[in-house]
């Protein structure tokens, strides 16, 4: 312990500094929650209220009418992206960690570079490509695009995890007569549970929070996720801040829930270097 | 890169029942025509196939097509067709002469440098704070992640709400604590709007910097810092000459990922300012979207996209170099 930590007063000063930092970092979330309960009369006054001035659920009623379907769409995209990511990344990560392949270094380099590619570059080309293969305005098309957020990252994280599992497990399974698929499915996947949860959380949030691909690949079709819903709503009713904040709170909710139930996995995924956008 | 030699070897051996290469052990296996090592290699390739196809379809194809598109003369009528008339360098010439494209490139650079500086200073400060022992540290570490998990477009929209001229929380705070005498027009003043987007982006990236740098600080052995202290180093000197050199590789990776993240920023700007006022916050991403999807000049948009891609890929060699340990890792399970 340093002298700084030994002094009681200084320790509380640290706590105070942390509190100030948290107030700044969490204030936008707080303001969105307060705003979601306010009437537009209050929000449009010159005065900003720190606590709900005249709280009501009216905004949520408006939003549930307008956005309930969008929430379902976002859930489908989030879950679809998760399934696609795991289906592609798990076997690939296993192959890249437990088999001696000459392409491994090249393939891993390609994944690292893929993480760097900006989504907008992919979006305008995918718009054209999807146009020819009739994937515009479809769930499969959008999920394939949303996978670009998660799949390279997922393979790298899972690969690092598979490295940590001893090779003796594989040898033992082979001696017991398991074939390659059975070894992968029955031995390795169950052991990789924690890494799978990390990857699944980030894949879900990637699909749930995507905006670029929704904006470009969906044009005026029935499919509309909540991210696009909020943007369109703000464009159409630029003054209805109460309803917009209520939608924002709904759009943030899964992140909050996941942080509550899977915090450990989120922290490890963040440290593994997830790149958004 | 598929090594074709390997693949064809497997094929020919499968079709050659009594090939010399098959050892006696081969006959006891469920597939007697394949030796165990060949079967494993085949399995590995099958495990890898979906990922290879996906990377080709979702990354390689769009990138190559984007290059092609940037040399074509596109219009709204060419969208449905596979190719458009050849344009040579016309789209790139347009980008170089278009004032908005040029200012978008400059804005992107300014925005990136500003974001990285702000995110690093605040994130490193918070990481150092979290590295001390004090009440509420664990809770603080969990809560600080929240901004990073929110959908970016939602963050943009919430900041637009906070930065409203009238009744916005930010102006209210500044006036209440006496830092401003009148409401500041954060979003509609062309001289201020890029700063507003910058503030929002710094806020967004701080959790990422904090957690990565905090993780690195946790890995610095206490004995080394203790030894420095005994040798008479002051806390600042310990930080400067002991801690920072040890965590330098993590600082480099964090800055690099922060750079990549910031040149990609799109949702945040669209939600907050939409590129306005008067293109004052137009970045490469938002202007390329505008060219492609609002003006339907996909060729010009693609040319600008390639400028962005080039900018992002500048750091690819460095990223690969910093990740060399994970590249070297082989089937040895040595980690």
Task: Note whether A198 and A265 are within 8 A (CB).
Answer: yes
User: Which neighbouring-strand residues pair with B86?
Assistant: B72
Question: Nearest CA of chain A to the CA of B131: how many Å?
Answer: 10
CB distance B264–A277 less than 8 Å?
yes
- Beta-carbon contacts of A93 under 8 Å, excluding residues fewer than 6 positions away, are A154, A155, A156, A157, A158, A159, A161, A162
* Burial group, residue B1, by CB count within 10 angstroms (0-12, 13-18, 19+): exposed
CA angle, residues B279, B280, B285, in degrees to nearest 5: 65
The answer to whether B172 contacts A48, with C-beta atoms less than 8 Å apart, is yes
Fold of B100-326: MetI-like fold (1.10.3720)
Residue B196 and residue B202: Cα distance in Å, rounded? 10
**Phi-psi group of B278: left, alpha or beta (phi > 0 → left; psi -120 to 50 → alpha; rest → beta):** left
The ipTM value here is 0.91
Asked whether residue B331 carries a pLDDT value surpassing 60, the answer given is no
Q: Say whether pLDDT at B330 is over 80.
A: no
* Percentage with pLDDT > 90 across chain B: 52
Residues 191-220, chain B, touching A (beta carbon < 8 A): 203, 206-208, 211-212, 215
Cα separation of B302 and A126, whole Å? 12
Of A245, A239, A234, nearest to A38 by C-alpha is: A245
pTM score above 0.90 = no
Task: Specify the pLDDT at position A178.
Answer: 87
3-class DSSP state for residue B87? coil
B20: closest CA of chain A, how far (Å): 23
DSSP letters spanning B21-75: T--GGGGGSSSTTS-HHHHHHHHHHHHHHHHHHHHIIIIIHHHHHHHHHHTB---
Distance CA B2, CA B228 (A): 51
Q: What is the CA radius of gyration of chain A?
A: 23
Q: Determine, for residues B54 and A88 on separate chains, whether the beta-carbon distance falls below 8 Å.
A: yes
> Does B140 contact A166 at a Cβ distance shorter than 8 Å?
no
In this prediction, residue A269 has a pLDDT band, given cuts at 50, 70 and 90, of confident
Cα of A2 to nearest chain B Cα, Å: 9
What structural domains does chain A harbor? Answer: 60-271 (1.10.3720.10)
Residue A207 is encoded by which pair of tokens? 């699909």
pLDDT of B113 reads: 96
Inter-chain touch B313–A259, beta carbons under 8 Å: no
Strands (E), A104-231: none
* Interface touch A100/B330, C-beta < 8 Å: yes
- The residues with which B72 forms a beta bridge, in sequence order, are B86
Q: Is the pLDDT of residue B96 over 50?
A: yes
pLDDT (0 to 100) of residue A274: 56
Judge whether residue B116 has pLDDT over 80.
yes
Q: Say yes or no for a CB contact (<8 Å) between A45 and B55.
A: no
Name residues 136-155 of chain B within 8 A of A (Cβ).
Answer: 136-137, 140-155
Spans of all domains in chain B: 100-326
Query: CB within 8 A of A44, min separation 6: which ones?
Result: A239, A241, B166, B167
**pLDDT averaged over every residue in chain B:** 84
At residue B2 the predicted structure's pLDDT band, cuts being 50, 70 and 90, is very low
Select from A1, A116, A128 the Cβ nearest to the Cβ of B316. A116
Whole-angstrom CA distances from A56 to A30, A35, A53, A207, B78 are: 16, 10, 10, 31, 51
Does residue B109 have a pLDDT over 90?
yes
Query: What pLDDT was estimated at residue A7?
Result: 77
Chain A touched by B13 (CB under 8 Å): no
Contacts of B169 in chain A (CB under 8 A): 27, 31, 48
What pLDDT is stored for residue A273 in this prediction? Answer: 60
User: Within 13 Å of residue B264, how many CA atoms lie on the same side as its CB?
Assistant: 26
């Amino acid at each position: 312990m340093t002298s700084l930590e030994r002094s009681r007063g200084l320790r509380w000063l640290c706590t105070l500094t942390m509190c100030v930092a948290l107030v700044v970092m969490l204030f936008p979330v707080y303001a969105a929650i307060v705003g979601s309960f306010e009437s537009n009369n209050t929000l449009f006054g010159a005065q900003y209220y720190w606590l709900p001035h005249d709280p009501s659920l009216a905004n949520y009623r408006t939003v549930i009418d307008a956005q309930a379907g969008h929430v379902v769409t976002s859930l489908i995209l989030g879950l679809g992206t998760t399934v696609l990511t795991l289906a592609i990344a798990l076997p690939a990560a296993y192959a890249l960690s437990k088999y001696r392949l000459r392409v491994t270094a090249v393939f891993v380099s390609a994944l690292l570079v893929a993480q760097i590619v900006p989504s907008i570059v992919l979006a305008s080309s995918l718009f054209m490509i999807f146009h020819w293969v009739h994937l515009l305005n479809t769930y499969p098309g959008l999920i394939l695009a949303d996978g670009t957020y998660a799949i390279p990252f997922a393979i790298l994280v899972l690969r690092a995890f598979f490295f940590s599992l001893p090779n003796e497990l594989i040898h033992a399974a082979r001696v017991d007569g398991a074939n390659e698929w059975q070894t992968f499915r029955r031995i390795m996947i169950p052991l990789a549970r924690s890494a799978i949860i990390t990857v699944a959380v980030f894949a879900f949030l990637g699909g749930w929070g995507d905006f670029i691909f929704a904006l470009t690949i969906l044009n005026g079709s029935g499919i509309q996720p909540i991210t696009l819903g909020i943007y369109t709503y703000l464009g159409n009713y630029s003054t209805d801040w109460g309803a917009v904040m209520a939608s924002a709170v709904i759009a943030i909710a899964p992140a909050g829930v996941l942080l509550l139930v899977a915090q450990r996995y989120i922290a490890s995924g963040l440290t593994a270097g997830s790149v958004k956008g | 890169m598929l090594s074709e030699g390997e693949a064809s070897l497997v094929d020919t051996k499968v079709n050659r029942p009594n090939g010399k290469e098959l050892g006696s052990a081969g006959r006891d296996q469920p597939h007697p025509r394949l030796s165990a090592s060949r079967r494993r290699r085949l399995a590995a390739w099958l495990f890898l196939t979906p990922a290879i196809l996906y990377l080709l379809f979702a990354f390689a194809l769009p990138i190559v097509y984007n290059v092609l598109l940037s040399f074509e003369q596109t219009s709204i009528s060419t969208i449905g067709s596979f190719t458009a008339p050849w344009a040579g360098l016309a789209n790139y010439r347009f980008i170089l002469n278009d004032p908005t494209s040029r200012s978008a490139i400059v804005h992107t650079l300014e925005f990136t440098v500003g974001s990285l500086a702000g995110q690093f200073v605040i994130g490193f400060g918070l990481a150092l704070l979290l590295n001390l022992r004090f009440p509420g540290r664990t809770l603080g570490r969990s809560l600080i992640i929240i901004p990073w998990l929110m959908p970016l477009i939602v963050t943009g929209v919430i900041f637009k709400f906070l930065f409203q001229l009238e009744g916005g929380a930010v102006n209210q705070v500044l006036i209440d604590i006496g830092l401003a005498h009148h409401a500041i027009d954060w979003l509609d003043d062309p001289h201020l709007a890029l700063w507003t987007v910058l503030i929002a982006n710094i806020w967004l990236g701080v959790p990422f910097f904090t957690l990565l740098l905090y993780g690195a600080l946790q890995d610095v052995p206490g004995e080394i810092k203790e030894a420095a202290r005994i040798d008479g180093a002051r806390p600042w000197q310990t930080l400067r000459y002991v801690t920072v050199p040890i965590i330098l590789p993590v600082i480099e990776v964090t800055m690099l990922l922060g750079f990549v993240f910031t040149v990609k920023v799109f949702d945040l700007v669209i939600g907050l300012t939409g590129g306005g006022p008067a293109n004052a916050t137009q970045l490469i991403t938002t202007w390329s979207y505008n060219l492609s999807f609002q003006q339907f000049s996909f060729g010009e948009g693609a040319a600008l996209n390639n400028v962005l891609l080039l900018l992002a890929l500048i750091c690819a060699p460095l990223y690969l170099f910093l990740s060399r340990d994970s590249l070297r890792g082989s089937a040895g399970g040595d980690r």
